[in-house]
Chains A and B, each alone.
Chain A
Amino acid sequence: MSAATATSVRRGRRRRLDSSLIVGIALVGVIIIGAILVASVGRNFFSAGNIRDILTGMSVLGFVAIGQTLVILCASLDLSVPYVISLSSLIAADLMAGNPANIPIAVLAVLVVSALIGLANGLIVTKLKVNGFIATLGTGLIIKGYLDTNYKGTSGEVPWEFQLIGATGIGPVPVSTLIMLVVALAGAFFLARTRTGNHMFAVGGDEQVARLSGIRTARPVIIAHVLCSITAALAGLLLASRLGVGSPTVGVQGGYDLLSIAAVVLGGTLLMGGRGSIWGTIGGVAIFAVVDNVMSVMQVNPFLKDVVRGVVIVAAVAVYTSRSLDRRRPRFGTGAAEPDRPDDRSAPPPAAAREKEASA
């Protein structure tokens, strides 16, 4: 065990890769393998149509995963996103009712409702001290109960003008993906440049240290939950624009709760909080999209797709985890203080140090 650790320390010293870079390398690897596989069945992976398919596949999960990144950075979780997605698609479609004039009010209403849900999540987590897993599982179930009771099927109608958002593109790049990337940019800026964003790293890294450093620890967590619900609502709006109606099951069918968490972890964000990046998450989402696309092109059995997805998630995170454990050790000199640490939750390093490194 200790011998293995020693080699890993050495390897960690030799190559210190930024987490987003590792995700990027993984993405390039997946793309190369995918392109070869696609070429083997006589199709072109890099055709405009295929690239558009991949980018379209990224957009919805991308929105959700951006918000989920913020929440996971704060060492919480959000399992309520699929229900927020369904609810926003329904609210949007119902309020629009086929009339383009209603678009602004519908979008506003969706954002307000989702922000309130996120606020509730954040308050339950911080003030009632309920674990984020349970708190958002609970609020998700509450929303599910509301949806199941009040909606029997699809509802509302989305006007053509709003459907254009999901349907048009600039060249091979769909507008929805561009909006998602803009949101990602805003999120990355928020984390790197604003005070609250930096506080999120601090609180997620070590809450006590953050508090003793004079940070109000509740506020970043609440804001992260609010932003996460809002990005989930954006995903719901996008799905409504694609489907043309609101659907009470669209979020659950996509499995966005667990898949977004998987994408975030795939993107190099620590599930325990305090370390990670938006761009890594986007890379994780892109890996998912490419894998899905390759399987669709090769007409893999839909049930086998789930098998491949599961294996890819575990394998990618396994490769990544060994790296990220290495990467942290040089901060502690020779690592003599903690020579062997299989479970890195046991000794979180000072939040300030992580904050610096993670936001770099």
Chain B
Amino acid sequence: MSAVTTPQPTAGERAAGFARTLVSPRGAVFLLLIVLLVAITVLNPSFAEPSQFIRFVQRVAPVAIVAIGQYFVIVGGEFDLSMGSVVTAQVVIAGNLIGQDESKSIPVLLFMLAFGAFIGLVNGLIVTLLKVPSFIATLGMMLALLGATLYWTGGAATGNPADGFREIGRGGIRDLPVIEILPWSVVVLVVVLLLAVWFARRPFGRTIIALGDNPTTVRYSGARSWWVKTSTFMISSLSATVAGVLLVGYAGVHPSVGRGYEFTAITAVVLGGVVLGGGRGWVVAAAAGAFALEALFTLLNFAGVPSTYRDAVQGAIIILAVAYAATTVRARRKGRALEAPAPEISPTPSSEPASQTSPAPAEEQDAAASARPAPIPSTQRADNETKGGS
């Protein structure tokens, strides 16, 4: 209901894909989102009013944008743990450099984008040229960037950017008929999501997915894998920058504003059915994962669950969601790979390899199929699994 009437960008596309994806594990996140939204509406009917709902979308926008950025990194087979620090750094930069001088807004905004791209470039080059695992490279960037930001401000972030700049995060187009106000954050989210969907469908976007699926074949097919991988880190840092611009308006300047964003983003992406280790997943599902996560928090709020239990419920939900997707996907893939007529075999732990323990994509994805050591992929599988994706 409300999910369908959402002024989401890809409304038509989503409606068309809905029936197709809901039955698959990849669509589980949409099913989860609908269930959560219905549950919230039952507890609090006013939530379904358009003006209330658009506020919800506005609140989710930064998280969803960060999740979209993280999607490209994860689907390319890596992690970006530095996103939270990038968000904090950008918020502090906006607060300190713009100050009350509204004329500085545009130059500083450009500087922030350049800074975000630069951070992503550094991350990417450390991963691709120095061959440091992305987990470690971005962990180092997370520590260094947050430390540098706090050092710069002396630990207590001060200063607010001019109201004109904050308007991006908290203002909107007012006096609209049904929804009263169309927040700029929602517009930005829609634009980012459209861009992401378009980008993921481009050959370059497909190369990212291929890179996550099997780096060897991508290299043999002549792609500049170092540049493709570096660009994913630049995308994620840029998305963290955009989220920072929205957050500085919505939440103000605070040194802990970006704390935990990297894990929230990874959780949302994984909730969206994107496989850690890369090669599999849909960017819209990743954004839907962010919506599902926030809807979950909203539901717990309305249900009167103490806020301290939020984390516990979040933990349980992500384990269950990933377990559901993992076991179902594996069952299907096993059937397909072996060309067996019964694709619905549920996995029996004793006879199956525990494939999900490894973040390595090649091992994970071929586990059920065969034991061949050479990582030449089965093209058929790649096509089937990433088709709807992007």
Give A residues with C-beta under 8 Å from B: 74-77, 124-135, 137-142, 144-146, 148-149, 203-204, 206-209, 211-212, 217-218, 221, 258, 261-262, 265, 271-273, 301, 303-311, 313-314, 317-318, 321-322, 325, 338, 340-343, 345-350
The answer to whether A148 touches B139, judged by C-beta atoms less than 8 angstroms apart, is no
Minimum CB distance partner of A144 in chain B:
B311
Tell which of A140, A141, A217, A307 touches B353, judged by Cβ atoms closer than 8 Å. A217
Known: A75-B359, A314-B136. A145 touches B312 (CB 8 A): yes
Q: Which of A137, A146, A318 contacts B318 (CB 8 A)?
A: A137
B222 interface hit (Cβ, 8 Å): no
Residues of A within 8 Å of B371, CB to CB, are: 208-209, 211-212
- In this assembly, does B330 line the interface, its C-beta being within 8 Å of a C-beta of chain A? yes
- Closest chain-A Cβ to B198's Cβ sits at a distance in Å of 28
Closest B residue, CB atoms, query A141: B315
With a cutoff of 8 Å between Cβ atoms, the chain B residues found around residue A125 in the complex are: 354, 356-357
Query: A343 to B309, alpha carbons, bound, how many Å?
Result: 40
Q: Tell me if B143 and A347 are in contact (CB < 8 A).
A: no
Compute how far the CA of A129 lies from the CA of B347 in the bound complex, rounded to whole angstroms: 10
In whole angstroms, how far apart are the Cα atoms of A142 and B139 in the complex?
A: 23
CA distance A149 to B300 in the complex (A): 15
| B322 x A130 contact (CB < 8 A) | yes
Q: Choose the segment among B55-63, B99-107, B108-116, B144-152 that binds chain A (4+ C-beta atoms closer than 8 Å).
A: B144-152
| A142-B150 in contact given A129-B323, A129-B347, A317-B132 (Cβ < 8 Å) | no
A340 to B310, CA, bound (A): 47
Q: How far is the CA of A321 from the CA of B136 in the complex (A)?
A: 11
**Contact stretch, chosen from B176-184, B211-219, B243-251:** B211-219
The secondary-structure label for the interface of chain A is helix
Stretch from B46-54, B230-238, B360-368 contacting the other chain: B360-368
Q: Which of B215, B349, B360, B374 has the most CB of A within 10 A?
A: B360
CA distance A149 to B314 in the complex (A): 14
Closest to B225 in A: A342
Task: Determine whether the beta carbon of A321 is less than 8 Å from that of B263.
Answer: no
* A207 pairs with B357, CB closer than 8 A: yes
A129-B330 in contact (CB<8A): yes
In the complex, are the beta carbons of A133 and B315 less than 8 A apart?
Answer: no
Q: Is B326 an interface residue (CB 8 A)?
A: yes
Q: With a CB–CB cut-off of 8 A, which chain B residues contact A131? A: 270, 276-277, 322, 326, 356-357, 359
Contact, CB under 8 Å: B151 / A303? yes
B239 to chain A, nearest CB (A): 21
Partner of B359, one of A133, A142, A304: A133
Most A CB atoms within 10 A — which of B146, B215, B327, B366? Answer: B215
**Once the chains are docked, how many angstroms separate the CA of A314 from the CA of B132?**
7
In angstroms, how far is the closest chain B Cβ from the Cβ of A290?
17
* Inter-subunit contact B354/A138 (CB<8 Å): no
CB pair B143–A208 under 8 Å, yes or no, is: no
* A142-B147 contact in complex given A206-B373, A346-B362, C-beta closer than 8 Å: no
Spell out B's residues near A (CB within 8 Å): 77, 81, 126, 128, 130-133, 135-137, 139-148, 150-151, 155, 214-216, 219, 225-226, 263, 266-267, 270, 276-277, 306, 308-316, 318-319, 322-323, 326-327, 330, 347, 349, 353-363, 366-367, 370-371, 373-375
User: By DSSP majority rule, is chain B's interface helix, strand, loop, or mixed?
Assistant: helix
The reply to whether B356 and A129 contact each other, CB–CB distance below 8 Å, is yes
| Contact partners of A273 in chain B: CB under 8 A | 358, 360
CB distance from B74 to the nearest CB of A (A): 10
Q: How far is the CA of A288 from the CA of B300 in the complex (A)?
A: 41
How many angstroms between the C-alpha atoms of A133 and B139 in the bound complex? Answer: 14
A sample of 25 cross-chain residue pairs with beta-carbon separation below 8 angstroms, ordered by A number, consists of A75-B357, A125-B354, A131-B356, A133-B276, A139-B319, A145-B311, A149-B309, A204-B358, A207-B353, A207-B357, A208-B366, A208-B367, A218-B349, A271-B136, A309-B144, A313-B139, A313-B140, A314-B130, A314-B140, A317-B137, A321-B133, A322-B130, A342-B225, A343-B216, A348-B360
User: With A and B bound together, what is the CA distance between A204 and B142 in angstroms?
Assistant: 27
Within the assembled complex, what's the spacing in Å between the Cα atoms of A347 and B216?
Answer: 9
Query: CB-nearest residue of chain A relative to B128?
Result: A342
Supposing A218-B354, A305-B147 touch, asked if A272 and B318 sit within 8 A by C-beta, the answer is no
Q: With A and B bound together, what is the CA distance between A128 and B360 in angstroms?
A: 17
Cβ of A52 to closest chain B Cβ, rounded Å: 26
In the bound complex, residues from chain B placing their C-beta under 8 Å from that of A124 are: 319, 323
A301 to B267, CA, bound (A): 33
The docked-state distance in angstroms from the alpha carbon of A349 to that of B363 is 12
A130 & B326 in contact (Cβ 8 Å cutoff): yes
Query: Lowest 8 A-B CB distances belong to which pairs?
Result: A145-B312, A306-B147, A141-B315, A310-B144, A310-B143, A314-B140, A148-B308, A129-B356
Quick check: A142 and B311 within 8 Å, CB to CB?
yes
* B residues less than 8 Å from A145 (CB atoms): 308-313, 315
In the assembled complex, the CB of A260 is this many whole angstroms from the nearest CB of chain B, namely 11
Known: A75-B359, A134-B267, A310-B142. 16 other contacts (CB 8 A): A124-B323, A127-B349, A129-B354, A137-B318, A208-B353, A208-B366, A211-B353, A211-B371, A262-B139, A271-B135, A272-B358, A310-B143, A314-B126, A347-B216, A347-B375, A348-B360
| Other-chain contact of A306, B143, B276, B347 (Cβ < 8 Å) | B143
**A310 pairs with B147, CB closer than 8 A:** yes
**Do B356 and A130 touch across chains, with their CB atoms under 8 A apart?**
yes
Distance between A339 CB and nearest chain B CB, rounded to angstroms: 11
B140 / chain A contacts, CB cutoff of 8 Å: 262, 309-311, 313-314
> Which chain B residue has the least Cβ–Cβ distance from A301?
B151
Contact B326 A129 (CB under 8 A): yes
A135, A145, A310, A350 interface centre (most CB from chain B within 10 Å)? A310
Q: Is there an interface contact between A135 and B319, defined as CB atoms closer than 8 Å?
A: yes
Contact B363 A348 (CB under 8 A): yes
Do A140 and B356 touch across chains, with their CB atoms under 8 A apart?
no
- Complex Cα distance, B371 from A356, in Å, reads 20
Q: Are B135 and A142 in contact (CB under 8 A)?
A: no
